[in-house]
Amino acid sequence: MSDQTGIEWTDATWNPVTGCTKVSPGCKNCYAERLALRLRAMGNPRYRNGFAVTLHPDQITLPLRWRQPRRIFVNSMSDLFHEAVPDDFIYKVFEVMAQADWHVFQVLTKGPVINKVSNFSLVVDIMTTHEAGRSAAAEVRLGLADVGRADAPPDGGE
Ligand code: SF4
């Protein structure tokens, strides 16, 4: 939940969900887990559950308040398609991405393929039915970091 990041390929991070579960060898050195545990130790209330999946509904509309266009890494501290994240929550996140079409959103996942199939159907539905989603300016990049794919971009991992 920051508009400044040390990650060279993005300008800001947006975390409507925090916490995750290790699902592949690529998760071994997950920086998100280390950071979440550190933030909990520092008393940050967002990380009161440590690295357990936690929804932050109050963060969903954050990109709408950022007027300057940015590349926004969605869920740098989690995986939006984690099985514990309800579909209607994912739907709301993608609705905000469709509305805030002056940004570029970067969504990476290592989620199980079976979940991805249903959730990407949901995403396609949102992007094709939402008025802003039909705009050429609405650019949502989906990084499909398939489990075990050597060339997959990292999300919370290293
Ligand atoms: S955030 Fe990414 S790297 Fe970390 S445990 Fe989740 S899927 Fe694995």
Positive or negative, the CA dihedral 98, 101, 107, 113 is positive
The residue whose CA is least distant from atom 2 of ligand 1 is: 156
Residues with CB under 6 A from ligand 1: 20, 22-23, 27, 30, 32-33, 78-79, 110, 155-157
Q: What is the pLDDT of residue 148?
A: 32
Per-residue pLDDT tens for 102-120? 998 888 877 654 455 555 5
Nearest ligand 1 atom to alpha carbon 26: 3
Amino acid sitting at position 59: Q
Global pTM value: 0.75
Q: Where are the domains of the chain?
A: 12-144
- Ligand 1 atom nearest the C-alpha of 77 is 1
pLDDT of residue 70: 93
Strands (E), 1-155: 12-14, 17-18, 54-55, 71-74, 104-109, 139-144
